[in-house]
């Protein structure tokens, strides 16, 4: 059995754009053509490949075909470039997933270090570093910055370095809640900042420091900028990467809860085991910038 490449491309577009209509728009075909191609591909595969939700997602059976579609797109692009003698102005999509703190600090300079003549269009997803590998597993992205070292099936894993995190608070907040010291009792009562329900960094810090499972009152602030601003404004304490905390500590806007205590989160670059030029160049840029930035 051979799979139809237009059908695979259509399948990838539906998952990437999130709906049959949006896929039809980017492919310049009618929605009914999209629907027919997906049905035909599902018949050929003997499996339901698209979960018809908002947004549309690949089913578990769809994951390997989604990855295949992405790999074929990269190969086609390279073959065409070689045939034409150079990149003839066409762009290639490169979907990656990155944890929020990397995205806000060192990751964009890494992308900017990829040679522009490769004409990569970055499709960035953001998730907690403990969960970024999921999108790699589902075939949605070709590479991930992740806290997981064990390679996802069909992927390579390389260590990038570690992000160091320190627990910080505004001096006024510190004075209000930790006047009698950073004790387990004060830590149980003082308001804490958490990015979202997936973010367990603050709880890990509490466990390391107190050897207890504390669950303080928590604000949820799902934006790196807003999270750091919330600390400066005294809404609570939280874990901030060294890469951004240093300036605020030096300027006296932050105060460390436990000077010298640092959580380190090792980060890995996992990517398809697949030697397309685009992916190789991206890996090279990511490793170089990470080596210069992370611990």
**Closer residue to its own copies in complex, CB, 61/112:** 112
**Residue 123 in contact with its own copies, rule: CB under 8 A:** yes
Q: Closest approach of Cβ 5 to its own copies, in Å?
A: 21
Q: Tokens 């964009």 appear where? A: 108
**Residue 206 in contact with its own copies, rule: CB under 8 A:** no
**Residue 124 in contact with its own copies, rule: CB under 8 A:** yes
**Closer residue to its own copies in complex, CB, 4/229:** 229
DSSP for the chain reads ----HHHHHHHHHHHHHSSHHHHHHHHTS-HHHHHHHHHHHHHHHTS--EE-SSS-EE-TTTHHHHHHHHHHHHHHHHHHHHHHTS--S--EEEEEEE-HHHHHTTHHHHHHTS-GGG-EEEEEEE--TTTTHHHHHTTS-SEEEES--SPPTTEEEEEEEEEEEEEEE-HHHHHHH-TT-S-HHHHHHS-EEESSTT--HHHHHHHHHHSS-----EEE---HHHHHHHHHTTS-BEEEEHHHHHHHHHTTS-EESSTT--EEEEEEEEEES---HHHHHHHHHHHHHHHHH--
Q: Closest approach of Cβ 46 to its own copies, in Å?
A: 26
**Closer residue to its own copies in complex, CB, 18/151:** 18
**Residue 222 in contact with its own copies, rule: CB under 8 A:** yes
Q: Closest approach of Cβ 65 to its own copies, in Å?
A: 21
**Residue 191 in contact with its own copies, rule: CB under 8 A:** yes
Q: Closest approach of Cβ 138 to its own copies, in Å?
A: 13
Residue in 30, 39, 47, 109 binding its own copies, rule: CB under 8 A: 109
Residue in 4, 21, 26, 80 binding its own copies, rule: CB under 8 A: 26
Q: Candidates 16-24, 71-79, 161-169, 253-261: pick the segment binding its own copies (CB under 8 A).
A: 16-24
**Residue 70 in contact with its own copies, rule: CB under 8 A:** no
Q: By the criterion CB under 8 A, which residues form the site for its own copies?
A: 17-18, 22, 25-26, 55, 89, 91, 100, 103-104, 107-109, 111-112, 121-126, 189, 191, 197, 215, 217-226, 229-230, 233-235
């Amino acid at each position: 059995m051979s799979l139809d490449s237009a059908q695979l491309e259509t399948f990838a577009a539906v998952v990437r754009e999130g709906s049959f209509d949006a896929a039809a728009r980017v492919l310049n075909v009618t929605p009914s053509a999209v629907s027919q191609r997906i049905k035909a591909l599902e018949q050929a595969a003997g499996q339901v490949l698209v979960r018809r939700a908002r947004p549309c997602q690949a089913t578990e059976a769809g994951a390997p075909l989604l990855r295949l579609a992405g790999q074929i797109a990269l190969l086609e692009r390279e073959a065409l470039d070689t045939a034409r003698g150079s990149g003839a102005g066409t762009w290639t999509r490169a979907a990656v997933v990155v944890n929020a703190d990397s995205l806000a600090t060192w990751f964009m300079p890494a992308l900017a270090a990829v040679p522009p003549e490769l004409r990569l269009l970055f499709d960035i997803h953001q998730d907690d570093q403990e969960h970024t590998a999921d999108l790699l597993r589902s075939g949605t992205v070709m590479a991930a910055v992740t806290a997981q070292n064990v390679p996802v099936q069909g992927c390579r894993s390389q260590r990038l370095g570690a992000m160091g995190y320190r627990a910080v608070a505004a001096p006024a907040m510190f004075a209000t809640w930790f006047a009698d010291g950073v004790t387990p009792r004060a830590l149980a009562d003082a308001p804490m900042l958490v990015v979202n329900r997936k973010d367990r960094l603050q709880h890990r810090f509490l466990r390391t420091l107190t050897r207890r499972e504390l669950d303080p009152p928590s604000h949820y602030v799902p934006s790196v900028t807003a999270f750091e601003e919330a600390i400066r404004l005294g809404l609570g304490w939280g874990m901030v990467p060294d890469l951004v905390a240093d300036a605020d500590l030096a300027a006296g806007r932050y105060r460390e809860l436990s000077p010298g205590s640092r959580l380190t989160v090792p980060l890995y670059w996992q990517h398809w085991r697949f030697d397309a030029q685009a992916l190789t160049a991206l890996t090279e840029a990511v490793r170089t910038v990470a080596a210069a930035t992370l611990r």
